[in-house]
Homo-oligomer: A and B are copies of this chain.
Amino acid sequence: MKRSIKVFAPATVANVVCGFDVLGFAVNEPGDEVIMRLTDKPGVSLLKITGDEGRLPLDPDKNTVSAIAKHYLQHIGQPNAGIEIELHKKMPIGSGLGSSSASTVAGLFAINTLFDNQLSNKELIPFAMKGEELACGYGHADNVAPALMGGFVLIRSYSPLDIISLPFPAELYAAIVYPEVDVPTKDARQMIRSKVYLKDAVTQWGNVAGLVSGLFMNDYELIGRSMTDVLVEPTRAILIPDFYVLRAMAMETGAIGFGISGSGPSVFALTRDKETAKKITQNLQQHLKSLSINSLAFVSEVNKKGPVVLD
């Protein structure tokens, strides 16, 4: 049995424009790292967090990584095992890129590896969802499922949980830009209307079906024209500076499709090649700079592996 492990888990783009709460994919960067050690002192302790600018709780019952590690130990019947955790945030918090999910998944993958992979990555999803509930007040799976499984993931059903790995074109890149403005997930969810017109819902599930079909068919055009959200984006776009200008720029620069990542404020574009993705992030960052808004940018293939052990 290993005594110490360092794990990376990827950031994720939830919703993928039309698939609110049911679709998500993972990217190779950014992501978070967790270092975990077995110790002889019983209990889960959270030694340190870096990269969070002091925003995350150090109380092991309130921090998702340590709290979910406790759940895991209870589940495998070793509630008195001794664990030390370091969390190294390598991505922005509250960015719409599944920051809490990346931390939780890195922690879960680490502890599951230390305890001889007693659960599959898919079986870890419900644990990770508990972490999301703790962090965001809502136990969604559209970040944790792709973070754990890699690639594109469909959450067909929450009750019972039914997760499907979707195929995707071999050449598919994500251009992500995070404008440094504050959009807490809880507030972003509360803005959304609880009732919608059936005709808009029909438009939405036509697009969800189109996006899934495009992924199976390697049809970039179909993927692109399905990336339309008539229900949630119109509301969330308000929180993102010049959202429609950013979209127009991304599409003119050659994006297949463009939208809000999760609940924002990060935006993302899908492209067929890395060069186009880079150009998009450059153009968008330049525009945000002209608005005096700082931003971070990430260009990456769609992640194919989920969490990995480092070193």
A residues neighboring B (CB under 8 Å): 18-23, 154-158, 162, 164, 166, 192-199, 201-210, 212-213, 216, 222, 225-226, 231
Interface centre among A20, A22, A199 (most CB of B within 10 A): A22
Is B209 within 8 A of A209, CB to CB?
yes
Question: How far, in whole Å, are A205 and B192 apart by their CA atoms in the complex?
Answer: 17
Interface contacts beyond A156-B226, A194-B199: sample of 17 additional A-B pairs, CB < 8 Å, sorted by A: A19-B205, A20-B198, A20-B202, A22-B202, A22-B209, A156-B206, A156-B213, A157-B203, A157-B206, A158-B206, A164-B222, A193-B198, A194-B198, A201-B201, A201-B204, A205-B205, A212-B212
Question: How far, in whole Å, are A164 and B219 apart by their CA atoms in the complex?
Answer: 11
CB neighbours (8 Å) of A206 from chain B are 21-22, 154-158
Question: How far, in whole Å, are A152 and B56 apart by their CA atoms in the complex?
Answer: 49
- Nearest CB of chain B from residue A112's CB, rounded to whole Å: 26
Known A-B contacts A22-B205, A204-B205, A205-B19; the reply to A156 vs B210 at CB < 8 A is yes
Interface centre among A18, A204, A226 (most CB of B within 10 A): A204
- Nearest CB of chain B from residue A167's CB, rounded to whole Å: 8
Is A198 within 8 A of B154, CB to CB?
no
Known A-B contacts A22-B202, A194-B197, A197-B195; the reply to A208 vs B210 at CB < 8 A is no
Question: How far, in whole Å, are A192 and B157 apart by their CA atoms in the complex?
Answer: 23
Residue of B nearest to A165 (CB): B213
Interface centre among A158, A192, A201 (most CB of B within 10 A): A201
CB < 8 Å neighbour of A198 from B192, B199, B209, B213 = B192
Question: How far, in whole Å, are A222 and B164 apart by their CA atoms in the complex?
Answer: 9
Residue of B nearest to A228 (CB): B157
Is A210 within 8 A of B164, CB to CB?
yes
CB neighbours (8 Å) of A225 from chain B are 156-157, 162
CB < 8 Å neighbour of A208 from B20, B155, B208, B226 = B208
Residue of B nearest to A225 (CB): B162
A-B contact pairs, 28 of them (CB 8 A): A18-B205, A19-B205, A20-B205, A22-B202, A22-B205, A23-B209, A156-B206, A156-B207, A157-B203, A157-B206, A157-B210, A162-B210, A164-B213, A164-B222, A166-B213, A192-B198, A194-B197, A196-B196, A196-B197, A198-B231, A201-B205, A205-B208, A205-B209, A208-B208, A212-B212, A212-B213, A212-B216, A216-B216
